[in-house]
Structure 1
């Protein structure tokens, strides 16, 4: 217990030292101004979620008609698909309802087992449409057109559609939550990509002026790594606080013109807390990897060489998590939830779509465990390949030291 206490105390000392050195430096103001450029780029990169939108913005209308009428409606939809402007909703048969029989369309809209955005009942001569207000206005003409096409005897006579409006539907709620999940993933990715790269060059200056050797002789290496990680995380949180204040002021100034954001399944307060925790975990996981790799670099040129594959790795993690969002219930989604580096992205999206809280407790513990494992492994690698190296090893490239080819130097 004493050993862990000493390591924690040493990590806090390193964290305080690095935090003060960065925040009170002259270049910190440029760090705060820097996100203006990624924000512009992020606004132009809206095509990231194209596949997500194609999957979630595919409305479905349920049919509660007789089997014969429902079959004709489905055939009419297949006939009109691609021949009329706009997207014709998918049709799915909910029940075989004969004329005169009752069917609870509102209950069907509230059923999450088979989410539909609207329900068409009645007959081909007198169809009824039960849907939210905006959907009802949008689809009343589509339903009339389909019913007219389904009546082979009078395909040019468009029947009147009786409309029953409801407040909302499960399909609408699920669609909104998916958009919230996608937006949260993009924001988490932008913040992590912008901030986690700072730790790549964290050790280069101290290795050049031999400060790292003094620190390594005084405190455990893994405590030093952890302290530097938390220092950079604290610096990032200061930056986020400043950017959030400026962004909040802009949002309040133009609040009347902003669209409403669909509420996540866990609610906004818990979602904000989970967003903060998952950002911290994503930063620590990426930062521990970058700190371990950056510790092998001896010059700024090597750090610049590593920047491109590191950025590509972050992009691949983000794209994989976004793809998992389009494949719910598959092995892709489960792998993204379990894989430590993509887990914060996938779990934040899950918080927007599902209301269970206990999986997040397990996920945060799992991610924290991997932070410790990566930090200790990186500290061990740094100690064996760098701290024991002589001049001969120092001239070797970063990849040779990563794979241990310089071990013979000592």
Structure 2
């Protein structure tokens, strides 16, 4: 077998072969247990929580993503509209949309508003052109009905006439705008982050209690005598990842079936920047990276617990740490290009969440290649450090000397592992 092999004088299996045997043993034991059925039913409760969180997030989204109205008018009209908007905003508050200056037109200069909006750039939801006497509002159909009256009121205020006669507002409908596109992509990004967080929180936390039973009945000491402890660590970690993939496959199939029955599909969400096929592939890759990063930490921390009560004590700070990482990545999504965004992409534990958000918001692909390479290097480092702590803590779980009965059990386990490795070869 090619690759680096770690062997001992007592004839232990090579590292990767032993890890494969441990992973296969744990995978089969969990997959064919009765508790696995309850494991598959577990996401029903997080789904309810996730739905509530999505509802709250939708309310916050309206405050985070501003829908700007652009001004492309002669300079005196622009200044008058801005002054009128500020005056009315102080009285009416959020009912008056924010104005941004797109262009100050020279006398006789024309401006094409529709191509700019359909280019989906920036946060523009509508553009006002024309003059104070005859303003023209260019926007998607929904925004035309929403803002036509407001524009007429602002233009009338800007004319500073005593009668406050409303000027007629011309309208031009477009298919979409940059603000609509960004709002939809933000919804897709937030949904992806919430789903990724819920899956990792549900699945990675299981490795905390993975060793309690084996440490209690001293099986772990027999394993330690038969195979390298690094192999036990990697085998258990990747076995839990495989179990998680089985669970996600079942949940995804059931969810897709329910959506199809209800006449819903991914088309109900805005298309992510990189497109749905690549977005789903990146979501799977970022789940694997996030699971291995957190799983390596949790398995190492879980090795310190000897009883179920200790696992329950450790679960609280573990859960809180996951929530803090998720909130950090969510905050970075609302501040693109700032230091918070860059920090979330670089910090290993938040990087999968932050990069999945970028996959929904941006079209660029090359940042994901760099991010996956960085996360892969962090996975290798975390697994190495976690295996070291795992080995140090687990080997202290019992006496080092082995009795004659223990030595016979070790010999038996070595024989089982040798047969298992020979069968897998």
Superposition deviation, residue 386 in structure 1: 3.3
TM normalised by structure 2 equals 0.87
- Corresponding residue SS for 2:46: helix
What is the DSSP-based 3-state SS (H/G/I as helix, E as strand, rest coil) of the residue aligned with 2:274? coil
Aligned pairs for 1:241-260 within 5 A: 241-255=249-263, 260=268
Deviation readout 1:159-197 (Å, 9 max, x if unpaired)? 111111122222221221111111110111111111111
Q: Which runs of 5+ in 1 are unaligned?
A: 393-410
Hey, what does 1:102 align to over in structure 2? 110
Query: How far off its partner does 1:315 sit?
Result: 0.4
List runs of 5+ in structure 2 lacking aligned partners.
7-13, 401-425
3-state SS of 1:118 partner: strand
Number of residue pairs aligned between Structure 1 and Structure 2:
391
Alignment partners' CA distance in 2, 1:254 and 1:112: 31
Q: Does 1:269 align with 2:277?
A: yes
The match for 1:218 among 211, 220, 226 is 226
Aligned pair partner of 1:138 in 123, 146, 157:
146
Q: TM-score, normalising length from structure 1? A: 0.90
Matches for 1:378-389 after TM superposition, within 5 Å = 378-388=386-396
Q: State the match for 1:65 in structure 2.
A: 73
| 1:11 equivalent among 19, 30, 54 | 19
Instruction: Give the alignment of 1:291-330 within 5 angstroms.
Output: 291-330=299-338
Name the structure 2 match of 1:175: 183
**Equivalents in 1 of 2:195, 2:273: separation in Å?**
18
Distance in 2, matches of 1:184 and 1:14, equals: 33
1: CA distance, partners of 2:265 / 2:19: 46
Larger mean Cα displacement after TM superposition, 188-197 or 357-366? 357-366
- Post-superposition offset of 1:138: 1.8
Aligned partner (choices 117, 122, 128) of residue 120 of structure 1: 128
Match of 1:361 among 366, 369, 381: 369
Deviation (angstroms), 1:87:
2.9
Cα distance, 1:52 vs structure 2: 4.2
Q: Distance in 2 between matches of 1:368 and 1:7?
A: 20
After superposing the two structures, state which structure 1 stretch, 207-216 or 60-69, moved more: 207-216
- Closer, same or farther in 2 for the Cα pair 1:379/1:49, shift >3 Å? farther
Q: 2:171, 2:61 → 1: CA distance? A: 30
- For 1:54, the equivalent position in structure 2 comes to 63
Paired residue for 1:285? 293
Q: 2:230–2:391: 8 Å Cα contact kept in structure 1?
A: no
